Amino acid sequence: MKIDIISVVPDLLQSPFAHSIMKRARDKGLLEVNVINLRDHTTYARAQVDDYQFGGGAGMVMMIEPLVNAIESLQKNTQYDEVIFLTPDGENFNQKMANHFSLKDKLLLICGHYKGIDQRVRDHFITKEISIGDYVLSGGELAAAVLVDAIGRLIPGVLNDETSALTDSFQDNLLAPPVYTRPETFRGWKVPEILMSGNHAKIAQWRMDQSLQRTQERRPDLLDDDQ
């Protein structure tokens, strides 16, 4: 999968994909991430990419021309499955969306800044608008990093058995059960006996019960979410 990201702060996107599972995905050739500096696509003096908003009001708006120049120059070489704008007024990102995007081939992510981007870009170029939660970040970069991480680890072949996504929280609309490792007893706090029993059927049942209980307690909304 190829993911291109347009940003005015490309440095913010260097580290998130350089470690751990994202690094492995890139090293294996399963994920390619390219960060494009929007300022390389402006024709305005001093690499300007934003301006005052028409109608007045505080906050700058990202101008249409640099964004369209960047998008169209990328589209010359790549046909994207989706052009995604990260924005707090977008659709809330969730595991179902991550699963869906992980099966795509080419994505273009656009990070907003300031008050946002000129609405005409949204009207004519963006195919999906996504928020990572009900709070406002300084820009879309951290949101883009969240998307790439959540999607990238689901690309077939990225995770091995030990890191399998099948038992993650939110797969099957359930939170994950508690997990334990050595030592078996610490300060008198014992690991649940069932996990030491070697009875795999019983362990699976216990984990399912714990998952259900956790979900009921913490996120009952997930249990009646039938989408």
> Which of 86/174 has CB closer to ligand ADE?
86
Which one of 7, 42, 102, 131 is in contact with ligand ADE (CB under 6 A)? 131
Residue 136 makes contact with ligand ADE by CB under 6 A: yes
> Which of 112/177 has CB closer to ligand ADE?
112
Please, what is the minimum distance in Å from the beta carbon of residue 145 to ligand ADE?
A: 11
Which string of x and - marks every residue 71-110 that binds ligand ADE (by CB under 6 A)? ---------------xxx----------------------
* Residue-level length of the chain: 227
Contact between 39 and 49 under an 8 Å Cβ cutoff? The reply is yes
Q: What's the rounded Cα separation, in Å, for the pair 98 and 85? A: 15
> Which of 71/84 has CB closer to ligand ADE?
84
* Contact residues for 21 (Cβ-Cβ < 8 A; gap 6+): 149, 152, 153, 158, 159, 163
> Which of 54/135 has CB closer to ligand ADE?
135
Which one of 135, 166, 217, 226 is in contact with ligand ADE (CB under 6 A)? 135
* Contact residues for 121 (Cβ-Cβ < 8 A; gap 6+): 62, 64, 67, 68, 71, 85, 110
Please, what is the minimum distance in Å from the beta carbon of residue 32 to ligand ADE?
A: 22
Residue 178 makes contact with ligand ADE by CB under 6 A: no
Please, what is the minimum distance in Å from the beta carbon of residue 137 to ligand ADE?
A: 4
For residue 226, give the 3-state DSSP assignment. Answer: coil
- Radius of gyration, alpha carbons of the chain: 22
Residue 140 makes contact with ligand ADE by CB under 6 A: yes
**Within 10 Å of residue 85's Cβ, how many Cβ atoms?**
26
Best CA proximity match to 44, nearest among 17, 62, 27: 62
Q: What's the rounded Cα separation, in Å, for the pair 168 and 170? A: 6
Residue 7 makes contact with ligand ADE by CB under 6 A: no
Binding positions for ligand ADE, rule: CB under 6 A: 86-88, 112, 131-133, 135-137, 140, 143
